[in-house]
Structure 1
Amino acid sequence: MPPFRWRAIALPALLPALLFAIGEGAIIPIIPIFAHNLGASLAVAGLVGGILMIGELFGDIPSGWLVSRIGERPAMIGAALLSVVGLVICLLSPNAWALSFGVFLIGLATAVFALARHAFMTSFVPASHRARALSTLGGVFRCGYFVGPFITAGVIHLFGSVETAFWIHIVACLASVAVLTLGREPSAAFVAVKTVRAEDGRRLHEGEALVADEARGLFRTIWASRSVLLKLGSGVTLLSGLRASRAVILPLWAVSIGVSEADTALIIGVAGGVDFALFYASGQIMDRFGRMWSALPCILGLAAGHFVLAATHELPTNVEWFIGAAMLLSLANGIGSGILMTLGADLADKRNPAPFLGAWRFTTSIGGAAAPLAISGITAVATLSLAAGAMGVLGLVGAGMLLRYIPRFVPRAR
């Protein structure tokens, strides 16, 4: 077999992922702000921002089947084009409810794109380099979340319009489609791809077969693994919820204390840089000291960041506290980079890991979808400060569950 060359996957896999991530990073801080500008209350704006994660949750269900049916690259191309449709709907939205439909489509597309690119890397990268390739892919996505808000801040400053953030994602998606369409097939460049035979007789790439196995019997696997999913899985689901809360509550907080759209994107972009800088350190911590030393500081830091927000909304220096809380939340999130995938890999059956990994990803995604709904509901009946405090309390509950169950289910190696 020819030697593996990193540039062989740079154009067909890493560059499209980076472009897509930059576009998504450009719109995430803006969605709640745009909803508020369309007349939505803070509670409804938070709900619209959270629909992105709800779309991803629903997209997780058919993604494996779709990727195994049409292939990795066609699935990524289709997902990018579906994102463009959702983004156009967002631009034409007369109200927050129409906007929420466009955001839902973007979430669906994001789930398909994410799973397809994972399958792509599994198929085209040899096992000897796969862990480094997937880690690099995760870093590329975080890099996009870091770069995207800076582009948004600059474009809003130039044109004075929040809607321009959606155009950034449209351009990024179309550029991603161009790279995927015009790029060379990786198998022709450097490696003979391993294939397996599906139950219906079709020949599938290794990655396509993996995601198909994850999707098959999803709810049956969840029931069979209910013990670990109810115990350790619940703690990790709360961790996932606090991560999703961060993406919604920071833009809402900026609106509530009067920070401009451009400054909001800039602050979130700088915070994303802190997150991006720590993705490699997190892996070192997990491998050298154990999973607990990444998971526990992550969820406690996220809880602390929410408590800081809850306690400082009415202070004269609330903008400075907002910036500090954003940095703390990103620091905590960076320390926990990769913890969800790592714990899932630790717990999965080594002989046939795919079904459990699909159930694990779906279960933890529930937290990401539920957290924005909780923020929206609490804000509607009380205040945004109380919603932040409630998320902090849930973080402490999740920390207790992780402290109890990680040593039980994932013992530290001698």
Structure 2
Amino acid sequence: MSTGSDWPAPSSVRLRTLVWTVFVPMVCYGIGSGAAAPMYALRALDLGASIGVAGMIVALSGLGMVLADLPAGQVVARIGERGAIGLGSALGVVGVLCAICAPNVGVLAVGMLFNGAAGAVWGLARQSYVVAVVDPADRGRALSTLAGASRLGFFCGPFLGAVLVHAMGPNGALWLQLATTVLAGAAMVAIRSTDLDDSHPGGHSLRSVVVENRRVLGTLGSAALLVGAARAARVALLPLWAAHIGASPSTTSLVFGLAGAMDVLMSYPAGVWLDRYGRRATGVPSMLLFAAGYAAIPFASSALELAGVAVLLGLANGVSNGLIMTVGTDVAPEGQRAEFLGAWRLTHDIGSFVGPIAVGLISAATVLGVAAIALAAAATAGAAAMHRWFPGPAPALGRHNAQVSSATPHPTEQVS
């Protein structure tokens, strides 16, 4: 099977040349997203929604991303990375304006769906562009830095948006997101053209791409799904456990801040590890760290112990930085890159959408500690799946003809 490493890269660039055109705009985009994320629930409450309805409305952003992942692949294939970034930015602007001007929760719900769809198009387009211009040997560092830039912005966003929220209420953070979406979109639309950006036939149907690559999506994709669940579930589980042990909201916020700092600090080291030691050697430890963190939650009876667990989960998330994007580009078939990556992202995003819901359902049926143990078991299963199917030794990934693990043959041809 031809992999992402077979794509022509005659104009490969150094990572530092992407700082102002890609990484800084991603920080900017992340700042707006991070500032607005906790405010959408408050906006729903302002419009008269109950706590349960507010939570469901916020979850619609994840649903919008899941629904848009597959179409996003065809959008990038047809109009190129720059055009897709412009479209994604426009969708984001519409979504934020719906939220700001919403007269009722229905309009806010539509805005959340638009926001999720914007994130799907933005995410795929930026990934596709970086892969097109970066040498395959630097792919891990490039994509982990890209993910780290977004997470850095998301971490800083609530602090920078606090002043506007104090002066304008929840809409203050939404106005900040609107501004950063426009600025980041304008900066990335101005990126230079790539060979792939000039010719996007987009001739592959979604069904044909999924069917032809069903073996890879069903094996490696199962691991990606479990990564998405492990990453997203901690956002739901940690605050619930903090409330369970009687921690104050300010303490909970500090705990999240510590976890976020660890996550960001690991961004570049995770990329170096990916490029030097390989995808399997990075993915398996990250999932085992997730498993250890979730298994420790039922034993955290104080804020200090919970902070230790949160930092461990932040470390796990940081080690996995860029992992799923990198593996996806490694195994993407030649000529179907954008469409395949849309399907690949869908596996991860389904996990991200389902993970927090699973926490709520399991906790409602049993007790909160059981949800933590279930997540630890799921993370362990993810580690086993990565050990079985993820690409192995780093030397094979460093060559121009990267190989997928021999355990994951393409549906129509054996991996060479």
Corresponding position: 1:81 with 2:76: no
Does structure 2 conserve the Cα–Cα contact (< 8 Å) formed by 1:241 and 1:370? yes
Q: Does the alignment pair 1:205 with 2:201?
A: no
Match of residue 410 from structure 1: 405
Structure 2 residue aligned with 1:219: 207
SS at match of 2:321: coil
Q: Structure 2 vs 1, CA of residues 271 and 361 (structure 1 numbering), >3 Å: closer, same or farther? A: same
Distance 1:90 1:161 in 2: 13
* Structure 1 residue aligned with 2:259: 271
CA contact (8 A) 2:209 2:336 kept: no
User: Are 1:53 and 2:62 an aligned pair?
Assistant: yes
Change (3 A) 1:366 1:126: closer
Report which stretch shifted further, 57-66 or 380-389: 380-389
1:282-341 superposed Cα distances (whole Å, 9 cap, x missing partner) = 2333344343332122112223333333444xx4x2x33443332221100111122212
The residue aligned with 1:186 is: 192
CA distance in 1, matches of 2:128, 2:207: 21
Match of 2:6 in 1: none
Q: Does 1:371 align with 2:352?
A: no
**CA deviation digits over 1:207-262, x for unaligned, max 9?**
x56xx47xx33333333333343333223311221112233444555666676666
* Structure-to-structure mapping, 1:154-173, within 5 angstroms: 158-159=166-167, 161-173=169-181
Q: Is the 8 A contact 2:144 2:271 kept in 1?
A: no
* Partner amino acid, structure 2, of 1:279: S
Tell me the amino acid that sits aligned with residue 285 of structure 1. Answer: W
Aligned equivalents of 1:95, 1:389: Cα separation in 2:
39
Secondary structure of the 2:88 match is: helix
Q: 1:28 to 1:383 in 2, by over 3 A?
A: farther
Counterpart AA for 1:174: V
2:410 alignment counterpart:
none
Q: 2:275, 2:209 → 1: CA distance?
A: 28
Give the counterpart of 1:15 among 18, 24, 32.
24
Match of 2:75 among 33, 52, 66: 66
2:380 and 2:195 mapped to 1: Cα distance? 45
Please show how residues 110-259 of structure 1 align to structure 2 within 5 Å.
110-121=119-130, 125=133, 127=135, 131=139, 133-153=142-162, 158-159=166-167, 161-179=169-187, 186=192, 193-194=194-195, 205=198, 208=200, 212=202, 216-251=204-239
Structure 2: how far apart are the matches of 1:359 and 1:74? 20
Decide whether the 8 Å contact of 2:127 with 2:325 is kept in 1. Answer: no
Instruction: Please tell me the root mean square deviation across aligned C-alpha atoms, in Å.
Output: 3.9
Q: Distance in 1 between matches of 2:278 and 2:19?
A: 31
Partner of 1:326: 310
Equivalent residue of 2:355, what SS?
helix
TM-score, normalisation: structure 1: 0.76
Mapped contact 2:76–2:338 kept (Cα < 8 A): no
Determine the C-alpha separation between the residues in 2 that align with 1:308 and 1:232: 27
**1:13-49, CA deviations, whole angstroms, 9 ceiling, x for partnerless residues?**
33332211211122334545665786544x6555444
Q: Which residue of 2 aligns with 1:292?
A: 280
Give the structure-2-normalised TM-score. 0.75
Q: How far off is 1:99 after superposition?
A: 4.1
Which range is displaced more, 258-267 or 341-350?
A: 258-267
8 Å contact 2:258–2:307 — kept in the other structure? no
Distance of 1:78 and 1:39 partners within structure 2: 31
2 CA distance for matches of 1:31 and 1:387? 26
Is residue 152–residue 164 contact of structure 1 (8 Å, CA) maintained in 2? yes
The alpha-carbon distance between structure 1 residues 169 and 3, as it changes in their structure 2 partners (threshold 3 A), is: closer
| Whole-angstrom distance in 2 between the partners of 1:15 and 1:267 | 26
> Counterpart of 2:146 in structure 1: which amino acid?
L
Residue pair 2:72, 2:342 contacting (<8 A) in 1 also: no
Seen in structure 2, the aligned counterparts of structure 1 residues 94 and 310 have a Cα distance that, compared at 3 Å, is farther
- In the alignment, is the contact (CA less than 8 A) between 2:219 and 2:385 conserved in 1? yes
Please list every run of 5 or more consecutive structure 2 residues that lacks an aligned counterpart in the other structure.
1-9, 393-403, 408-416
The gaps in structure 1 that reach 5 residues or longer are 188-192, 196-203
Q: 1:86 to 1:10 in 2, by over 3 A?
A: same
Residue identity (%):
34
- Which residue of the other structure, out of 328, 333, 339, is the alignment partner of 1:344? 328
The SS at the match of 2:178 is: helix
Letter in 1 for 2:207: F
Q: What are the within-5 Å matches in structure 2 for residues 18-37 of structure 1?
A: 18-31=27-40
